[in-house]
Amino acid sequence: MAKPALGRGLGALLSGSSPAGKPTTPAPPATNLSSPAPMPDTHERVQRVALGRIRPCSFQPRKKFSEEALRELADSIKEQGIVQPLIVRDKGDHFELIAGERRWRASQLLGLPEVPVIVRQADDRAVLELALIENLQRENLNPIEEAHGYAQLIEQFQLKQEEVATKVGKSRAVVANALRLLRLVPAIQEALRDGLLSVGHAKVILGLPNEKQQKVAADRVLKDGLNVRQTEALVARFQTRGLTGKGPGSITPLATDANVVDLENRLRERFGTKVRLKYSQGKGSVEIAFFNDDDLERILQIVGVKVD
């Protein structure tokens, strides 16, 4: 099944994009791109600029680029040229990339003297939104890069999670759960960034109440190669207050029903925050954590409570 496109798409964020069905001016034959990008319309002009005048964008959420993939793209460009122009904005003494950093890097590998570009007007927020959407559509971001991108939109431009979700075409729960990953200790974030831990592992580990427990659990997962279900069972054995004093890797067994642990994890997924479920013989309580007024309002909306 084809994966649906994200909400607004790349073109909607750039004022020069053509509406569906409107004829577009094709790019010159001197060019290639391994993935889609906004096509120029009849009001735009493709021009060639010196490669050395183009700088990467500071808002680019993607920090790691596969050398092998860049080399493959460079080989493709060498054979066919750059089919789709880079999108840039004029910064006076240089041009800043809006879209097309992989093509720019591959062109550097080839030592190209110049590349085709389209110059557009865009403010910082539009550039960050576009960079996020471009990478999310192509699934180029690792989970931590994606989370940092959302966080930057929220912190730098004072957006709410719901607004960020709308802009990038994701559900609010997806954004909230991604942001939760930034609460992990740096070492676990790095393992997640490198693909040593999955998002499923990370969500389970986030259920532990402190960083020390999280680190011990992650180390155990990596050492023993535990899958997500096995990680859930491991987390269920941690006592509420954490590790004993018997050593850095010791844990105290806790007689927790695996079904309760599973339900607790599903609640965390639904609310996009830390959830604690206490259950015993048909009685108990559910504790849902929030970290600011916007977070509380979001949770209330999920459970259907309107704030006057």
Confirm or reject CATH 1.10.260.40 for domain 142-302, answering yes or no: no
- Which residue positions in the chain have pLDDT lower than 50? 1-42, 239-255
Six token digits for residue 55: 């700088």
Beta-carbon contacts of residue 119 (< 8 Å; ≥ 6 apart) = 47, 88, 89, 90, 95
What is the pLDDT at residue 67? 83
Residues forming CATH 3.90.1530.10 domain(s) in the chain: 9-21+28-133
Q: How far is residue 212 CA from its own chain's centroid?
A: 25
Cα–Cα distance for residue pair 190/234, rounded to 1 Å? 21
Cα–Cα distance for residue pair 216/187, rounded to 1 Å? 11
Q: How far is CA 286 from CA 154, 173, 241, 268, in A?
A: 28, 19, 18, 11
What is the pLDDT at residue 3? 40
What is the pLDDT at residue 110? 92
Instruction: Indicate which residue of 44, 101, 129, 145 is catalytic.
Output: 101
Query: Residue 243, Cβ neighbours under 10 Å: how many?
Result: 18
Q: Give the closest residue to 48 by CA, choosing from 100, 108, 98, 112.
A: 112
φ/ψ of residue 216, rounded to 5? -65, -40
Q: Which helix (H) or strand (E) holds 275?
A: strand 275-280
Which class is 9-21+28-133 in CATH?
A: alpha beta
Are 70 and 55 in contact by the 8 Å Cβ rule? The answer is: no
Q: How far is residue 120 CA from its own chain's centroid?
A: 25
Query: Residue 145, Cβ neighbours under 10 Å: how many?
Result: 18
In the block, residue with structure tokens 């904005």: 89
φ/ψ of residue 298, rounded to 5? -60, -45
**Burial of 183 (C-beta count, 10 Å sphere; 0-12/13-18/19+):** middle
What is the pLDDT at residue 181? 93
Catalytic status, residue 101? yes
pLDDT (tens digit, 9 = 90+) per residue, 11-30?
Answer: 444 444 333 333 333 434 33
Residues forming CATH 1.10.10.2830 domain(s) in the chain: 142-302
What is the pLDDT at residue 1? 43
Query: Residue 111, Cβ neighbours under 10 Å: how many?
Result: 8
What is the pLDDT at residue 43? 55
